[in-house]
Structure 1
Amino acid sequence: MQASQPGGACSSGLALTLVIVLVLLDPVHSQKCAGTPPIILQFVEVGADLQVPALHRVPSNLDPLYSVVRHYLDVVQQNPFPTELLRRALNDPDSVRTSQVMRYEMGYIICAVIAVLFFFAMPVIGLCFCYWRRRQHCGGRIKAYRHSLICQRNFLMLGLLLTSIIILTSVTCAFITNQRVKEQMEPGIQVVPFTLRMLRQHIDDIPKGMNSVVEQFAVPKDQIIGDLNTVGWNIGLTIHSQLKDQVYSTLEALKGRAEDLQNSLHHLQILNKTIWTLTLYQGMLAPRLRDHKKSLVSLLDDPRCTSCGSLLETAKHLELGANYSKVPSGEHVLKTLHGLPKGNFPDMIYQANTTFNMIPDVAVEKMAMVVHDLQYEVVRVVEEVQALADNFSISNHTQLVANALARMENGSRPYLKEIKHYEKYRWIGGIALCSVVLIVVICNFLGLALGAYGLAVRDDPSDYESKGEAGATVLMVGVSLSFFFSWLLILLVFATFFIGGNVQTLVCKNWANQEIYKFMDTPGNLPPSMNITQQLGLNRRLNLTFTYQECKKGMGLWEILEHNDTYNLDDHLRLAKYTTEFEKLLSNFSTHFGEIHILNSVGRRDLETFARSGIDRINYPAFWAEMQNPIVKTSLEGLAVSLEGLQKLQKNSTVAGQLADESQALWQIQNSSVRTQEALVVQLNESVQFLSEIAAHLQERMRWTMAEIASVETTLPRQAHRILKQEISCFTKKEVGYFTQYLQWVRRTLTKEVASCQPFSTAMDNGRVILCDRIADPWNAFWFSLGACTFFLIPSILFAIKLTKYFRPIRNRLISTGSEETCPFHIPRVTSLKM
């Protein structure tokens, strides 16, 4: 009894140490939520089909031309936005003075003056040209040849060529931009009522979209219900998975100690029985060996025995080698272990294993009530979510906006129809006048080509050449067309310039920098009849600039309407409103799993008896030392063979017979007794080897096993409870995450799609893109290109008129008596020439 106390103290100390280590280093304490990544819920998009598609400026090869035109208009109109002038014009039109308008439009007035001068000057000059031409003072022939004429002619040809190329480039741009205006005008006109209709439809579909948003709560609800149906089993599996290594290791250790006890008892019984048998055999073998030793020594010492002296010394050692009566006895150990094991270790291990494997089922059972409450809570949250739509009474405040959009849509149709009608005439007029300019360019190129060819084939400057004459005539046709149509060109250029220029400088420029919104925001700038905030029912605390900017970012429509703050989306989308009770039910849930009993009192006493049985105190080295000795010191087989060899050498038959008898006796002892004892020694060796190995680690293994058993039985319920709380925390985060995903999707869908005011800011941006980027830019590029053609007609006319003389034959005015315009004959040169 005294020997058991130190072992028990060591076992208790080791168990306490192991428990402390497990508590301090318990991985469950610092465990993070593991497993698969959280599921990303997929919701059906709501209201996306009613969004106003955003239009953007499309890059074009004409962008450099557009940029030049805008810079030109900035030079023409350098005045800032006419805030004061517009305020007077809108509130009291009679107070607006013409001088104020002229001062603001001074750049356009200067351009108008230039256009008027061009309008009157070109026809007058054209009439004068016709008169001079009729009087033969313009466009005739050169009357005398000089060497400097070649340089003058080449300069005029180069000037006309470059001017014609510039006009051709400009008229090409005019054709392209004229067509671009036509292509953009019709879809731009059509998009106005379409956009207004889309905005009204967007407002009308808000209640339907809101209901669809609420219906999408079925997505997180189904996911949460599905998770609740499996949460108990999954948590139980997690507890089982995290603790199974420790529990299975303990059960395996217990199984090992039970097997050690069983096998040790078995080998102790073999050891005792083997030693008793060996001692018995040795007691019977010793007298026989002494008798044979005596007789054999006497025989080998007989003088008649030939050559027997060599075996005499061997025969003297014919005695027992090992003495197993001297080995320590294991009888006291067997007495201690007698009747063990009393406990049913396989049944204990099976029961503990079954109890541990039942943890998932126990978790399901213990969590059944809280799961039921959570499912009921999810159903209650559905009613809370429905309140999102029930309380969303935005339709009561959007009627003014819808009515205003309907009035704008109906009122815009006649104006848009008129714009489309007049645009058709503008396009036809632009095509016609561009075609005239193109004909003038063709006349210039054709006249240059014919004239140059005529000069190349004419050997004498005074010779008549039909190609050169035709070239001069074609140039004069181009000059006539330039004079005749230039007034129409300048009219179209100024009309389109005045309209397009003011649209760009007054509207587009100030629309892009939001000066127009700021003007509308300033109190007093607009008359009461044009109070947009009041007409649309907008929130009086917000100005148009702020509203436009915030709508562009995705503000909700209800935030810009005047509804006395009856609806607060932030309050309805508060996460705590939907998850507080859910989290509370989970956080309050607590349960303790039953204790797991691995080792009962009977089994514990069996192991403690085994530990203090003294099996580790047996003197195993004494067994090894004795088993190293042979059964007989002299090899009976070798001695018998040697005696048989001596027998053949003997001459005395009596001695030979005695040697044969002794040899036969030794063989009999070897085969009957020695071999049996050797087999017993082998068996003894196996048992001693097993017992010595068990004894070497018995106390250490027994202490560790008992400590592990104590640790599992003590800490497993606490660890299971800790894992349960951790898993419930992770489960709560995951389920609350589904609520969060839904509420974030609701906020994004309401503010970006269903009830967003972003379509209104998009519609305003689209209006600017259509009017300014897609219509005004090519419109202004058209008049700019056509204006370049118109003004470059002046140098074209001058170069063409001056150049026609060089394409006709040079005549001597002293000899010629015929008409200078009609004489095609050759006139000899003279040395004295004069123009």
Structure 2
Amino acid sequence: MKAWVLLDPVRSQQCPPGNPLLVHQFMEIGADQQVPAQHRVPSSLDPLYGVVRRYLDVVQQNPFPTELLRVALNEPSSVRTSQVVRYQAGYVICAAIAVLFFVAVPATGLCFCCCRRRRRCGGRIKADRRSLTCQRNLLTFCLSLTTAILLAGVICAFVANQWVKEQMEPGARAVPATLHTLRKNIHSIPQDRVSFSKQQLLHKRRICHGKCVSHLLKHESFLLRLAQNPPLQAECAARPPPRQGSSKAGGLMQGDRRGVQSVVEQFAVPRQQIISDLNNVSHSIGLTIHSLLKEQVFSVLEAIQGRAQDLQNSLHHLQILHKTVRTLTHFQDELGLALRDRKESAVSLLDSPRCTSCARALGKAQNLELGADYSRVPSVEQVLKTLSGLPKANFPGLIDQGNSTFNSMPDLAVAKMAQVVQDLKDEVNKVSKKVQSIADSFPVSDYTQPLNDALLQAENKSHPYLQEVKHYEKYRWIVGIVLCSVVLLVVTCNLLGLSLGACGLAMREDPSDYESRGEAGAKFLLVGVGFSFLFSWLLILLVFATFLVGGNVQTLVCKNWANQEIYKFIDTPGNLPPSMNLTQLLNLKRSLNLTSAYQGCKKGAGLWDVLQLRDAYNLEDHLHLSQYTRDFQKRLDNFNLHFEEIHFLDGAGRRDLETFRQSGIDQLDYPTFQAEMQNPVVRTSLEDLARDLEGLQKIQSNITIAGRLANESQALWKIQNATVLTQEALVVKLNESVQFLSTMAPHLQPLLKQTMAEIAMIETMLPVQAQRLLRHEIGCFTRKELGYFSQYLNWVRRTLTEDVASCQPLATALDNGRVILCDRIAEPWNAFWFSLGCCTFFLIPSIIFAIKLTKHFRPIRNRLISTASEETYPFHIPRVTALKL
């Protein structure tokens, strides 16, 4: 049954797991030019940002002003002020409140100054009442709470002001950087047709010197303009030619071939892998075939070696059997004569009446005769005659030759497949040229060039504006710090006034006593009131100005940018004037919808999906696997390798085994051998009888009998040592040979038949199965190498649609603009005016509570008063304490 395994060795074979399909890692094309996404930076002011947004939602409850903006953009002169005021009603109300604050608080401050000059405000309490303590505590609590709110507000204002400064500068840098990276990303999608024309134009016009080179390096579209401008061509052509090895021109050439060309060049990754596999495929296939067939082949060789060994061992044991039987027969005749003489002598002696106690030994002596008769065993001369001269074949040499022939299969596969491997390498090199067609026909730059020019223009124009922003941001920050410091100064005066006033009250024994610390506390409170009146108008001006700018940015721009209302406004025909029409400016299709384009780009859609370029360029036609692998696969399918026949036995070896099978060794009467060897050489043990005679010698009274018993004992020992022991050793040797032959004989015929059948099967089926295994391995190799081609083409498809030709950077750039303007600048800006505005409005209760509390920190002037109970209080003259110098 073992031989039938060879009938279909590839039925259950899968492709070898030891050489799996590798997953290639290709270079990240355009990864260094992806627009880095800006994210909202978490801040401790986030809760404040939420409060400000909710406040602005209350102030501006109107939706996005589509009609108003349409009129303003298309017919600015027809915009009516009433429409603007109606839309900005919330801000108008806030402006009215700011104006009222701007007028009322300074006016109140002037009145307070006049009143204070006449000593009518902020004076002293003229009578001590029981309710003064409760009133003073209430005022102290209210002023403390107001001061705490002012302190919290000014801290938030300081933090927000600093946060605006910290975000303004990187935000200003991020705008041109984002535009530059986006432009680089767009420009990194080259069209090789244009690239080649650039190189030809450089070669023909010899443009690599002076001013032309500077234009070439600064403006990527210069060469395209040069092709359409003959005077410029003449000017550049008239310049001296460049020196050999110009590094700048070469660098530009190399820089132009990015994106799609880099994708094409990445074919080197699977190409190197396929070439490496081709270098090892022939030896690998040979080893695989050798590995899959070696178990059966080595089993047959082992069987041949076993049968040859059986032949030699059988012949050896037959010779031992024949020779031993003849020797035993010869010794048997001599031993029989000696035993008869010893039997007659011993029986006559032991039967004598003078022999004392000899009856037991007499019985043993009467059995002194041969036990086994070796002349009755079957003869093996005929079998030996048949096997005489065997083995005639050189079985070790045949086995070594079979091993050598079979083990040479890997080297044979290498030699046979050398030419086809070279042809396959040539096919792979041809595929490299075919892949270049992807870059040669890629048309995306026809559509991205207007966008690239627009981005370049926007980048160049953004620099001066951003420089101005940085310049004015510095002054805004300084003004914010100054006004926050004013509020902080008021808070400081309040805190000092509360602290000194409370200390003075605690140290005063009599309400009418003068206390310098209480007086100082009152003065500090009045100083805080003065600062509040003095700077309140400036604070409200800054608060309203920043509120008007930041609030409108949040409600009009950021809110509608986040919910994409701005994109929908741009998409609606007629909203934008022709000078601002993106479809015309960027040479886009009229059916393009900015909202859907943004959403598609956000999800990573390709430019040809967004720009609807599939009609102009069918990517799948260039990425079909068969057009690159057809010839490669055809050469592998047509390859055929014929393995030479392997012969494990020659004619002499077959005749030897056939002679061995027909020798009749399995028909010998081995049970007769075994039965005869069960009989002892002598029926009576000579050793026991000799020991019995020695024992009888000692008890005999007759010296003559005793002497004869000693002689008989010695004679028996001599026969035992000289003859019986030798025959017993020969019997043991004979028994080993009989055991081997009797064990081997029943299985000889089946083993020989099976071995001959396996040899015939192997020699017939080995080339066929080797061929089938070869086809199987070539099929596995083909699928593996096609997998590398498929990996590359799938990567090309994904890269061209998602990385190289992806419009996701456009969506990322738009999101970055919103994050920079709204999340990083507008939110802390709004938090600043909100915090400072809270402080400004809380200055009013601070002024009121400070003025009220000032009287309680000064000594009370007692006077005679009449009450309902007719109580009279003596007039108290305050004590004046001289200062010690």
Q: TM-score, normalised by structure 1?
A: 0.89
Question: Which of 345, 367, 385 is equivalent to 2:435?
Answer: 385
Is the 1:397–1:562 contact (alpha carbons within 8 Å) kept by the matching residues of 2? no
* Cα distance in 2 between the residues matched to 1:242 and 1:381: 34
Equivalent AA in structure 2 for residue 343 of structure 1 = A
2:512 aligned with 1:462: yes
* Cα distance in 2 between the residues matched to 1:636 and 1:49: 108
C-alpha displacement of 1:408: 1.1
Equivalent position of 2:731 in the other structure: 681
Equivalent position of 2:653 in the other structure: 603
* Cα distance in 2 between the residues matched to 1:283 and 1:828: 168
Is the 1:19–1:715 contact (alpha carbons within 8 Å) kept by the matching residues of 2? no
C-alpha displacement of 1:234: 0.8
* Cα distance in 2 between the residues matched to 1:162 and 1:565: 71
Is the 2:6–2:769 contact (alpha carbons within 8 Å) kept by the matching residues of 1? no
Name the Cα RMSD after superposition: 2.9
Equivalent position of 1:822 in the other structure: none
User: For the structure 1 residues 313 and 785, does the alpha-carbon distance in structure 2 shift closer, same or farther, using more than 3 Å as the test?
Assistant: same
* Cα distance in 2 between the residues matched to 1:468 and 1:653: 160
User: For the structure 1 residues 176 and 327, does the alpha-carbon distance in structure 2 shift closer, same or farther, using more than 3 Å as the test?
Assistant: same
Compare 498-507 and 540-549 and name the one that shifted more.
540-549
Equivalent position of 2:43 in the other structure: 60
* Cα distance in 1 between the residues matched to 2:74 and 2:646: 92
Any idea what the Cα deviations from partners look like across 1:330-381, whole Å, max 9, x if unmatched? 2343344344334332232222212211111222233233322211110011
Question: Which of 64, 76, 89 is equivalent to 2:59?
Answer: 76
Equivalent AA in structure 1 for residue 121 of structure 2 = C
Is the 2:6–2:296 contact (alpha carbons within 8 Å) kept by the matching residues of 1? no
* Cα distance in 2 between the residues matched to 1:116 and 1:426: 22
Question: Which of 791, 802, 811 is equivalent to 1:761?
Answer: 811
C-alpha displacement of 1:802: 1.7
Compare 124-133 and 659-668 and name the one that shifted more.
659-668
Equivalent AA in structure 1 for residue 165 of structure 2 = K
Give ranges in structure 1 of 5+ residues lacking alignment. Answer: 1-16, 816-824, 830-835
User: For the structure 1 residues 345 and 477, does the alpha-carbon distance in structure 2 shift closer, same or farther, using more than 3 Å as the test?
Assistant: same
Compare 619-628 and 340-349 and name the one that shifted more.
340-349
Any idea what the Cα deviations from partners look like across 1:651-686, whole Å, max 9, x if unmatched? 878767766665565455444443443332222112
2:398 aligned with 1:415: no
Equivalent position of 2:823 in the other structure: 773
* Cα distance in 2 between the residues matched to 1:122 and 1:660: 160
- Secondary structure at the counterpart of residue 436 of structure 2: helix
Matches for 1:301-450 after TM superposition, within 5 Å: 301-303=351-353, 309-450=359-500
* Cα distance in 2 between the residues matched to 1:389 and 1:404: 25
C-alpha displacement of 1:812: 4.7
Equivalent AA in structure 1 for residue 50 of structure 2 = S
C-alpha displacement of 1:443: 1.6
- Secondary structure at the counterpart of residue 126 of structure 1: helix
Equivalent position of 1:795 in the other structure: 845
* Cα distance in 2 between the residues matched to 1:564 and 1:753: 17
User: For the structure 1 residues 783 and 631, does the alpha-carbon distance in structure 2 shift closer, same or farther, using more than 3 Å as the test?
Assistant: same
* Cα distance in 2 between the residues matched to 1:189 and 1:749: 32
Is the 1:463–1:826 contact (alpha carbons within 8 Å) kept by the matching residues of 2? no
* Cα distance in 2 between the residues matched to 1:419 and 1:659: 145
Equivalent AA in structure 2 for residue 324 of structure 1 = Y
* Cα distance in 1 between the residues matched to 2:835 and 2:499: 26
Is the 1:464–1:826 contact (alpha carbons within 8 Å) kept by the matching residues of 2? no
* Cα distance in 1 between the residues matched to 2:531 and 2:706: 164
* Cα distance in 1 between the residues matched to 2:878 and 2:694: 169
C-alpha displacement of 1:404: 0.8
Question: Which of 146, 153, 168 is equivalent to 1:170?
Answer: 153
User: For the structure 1 residues 660 and 494, does the alpha-carbon distance in structure 2 shift closer, same or farther, using more than 3 Å as the test?
Assistant: closer
Matches for 1:109-188 after TM superposition, within 5 Å: 109-188=92-171
Is the 2:102–2:536 contact (alpha carbons within 8 Å) kept by the matching residues of 1? yes
Percent identity reads: 68
Compare 567-576 and 790-799 and name the one that shifted more.
567-576
Equivalent position of 2:320 in the other structure: 270
Task: Count residues in correspondence.
Answer: 803
Equivalent AA in structure 2 for residue 569 of structure 1 = L
Is the 1:28–1:719 contact (alpha carbons within 8 Å) kept by the matching residues of 2? no
User: For the structure 1 residues 350 and 146, does the alpha-carbon distance in structure 2 shift closer, same or farther, using more than 3 Å as the test?
Assistant: same
2:679 aligned with 1:629: yes
Matches for 1:14-29 after TM superposition, within 5 Å: 17-18=1-2, 20=4, 23=7, 26=9, 29=12
* Cα distance in 2 between the residues matched to 1:353 and 1:531: 83
User: For the structure 1 residues 464 and 328, does the alpha-carbon distance in structure 2 shift closer, same or farther, using more than 3 Å as the test?
Assistant: same
* Cα distance in 2 between the residues matched to 1:225 and 1:770: 51
Equivalent position of 1:733 in the other structure: 783
Equivalent AA in structure 2 for residue 810 of structure 1 = I
Question: Which of 66, 82, 85 is equivalent to 1:102?
Answer: 85
Any idea what the Cα deviations from partners look like across 1:168-220, whole Å, max 9, x if unmatched? 11011111111111121122122222222233333334432233332232222
* Cα distance in 2 between the residues matched to 1:44 and 1:247: 48
* Cα distance in 1 between the residues matched to 2:434 and 2:262: 15
Equivalent position of 2:68 in the other structure: 85
Equivalent position of 2:297 in the other structure: 247
2:554 aligned with 1:496: no
Equivalent AA in structure 2 for residue 165 of structure 1 = A
* Cα distance in 2 between the residues matched to 1:713 and 1:391: 58
* Cα distance in 2 between the residues matched to 1:304 and 1:167: 153
Matches for 1:616-695 after TM superposition, within 5 Å: 616-640=666-690, 642=692, 665-695=715-745
Give ranges in structure 2 of 5+ residues lacking alignment. Answer: 191-256, 866-874, 880-885
C-alpha displacement of 1:814: 6.8
2:50 aligned with 1:48: no
Equivalent AA in structure 2 for residue 93 of structure 1 = P
* Cα distance in 2 between the residues matched to 1:469 and 1:296: 160
* Cα distance in 2 between the residues matched to 1:19 and 1:637: 58
- Secondary structure at the counterpart of residue 141 of structure 1: coil
Equivalent AA in structure 1 for residue 736 of structure 2 = E
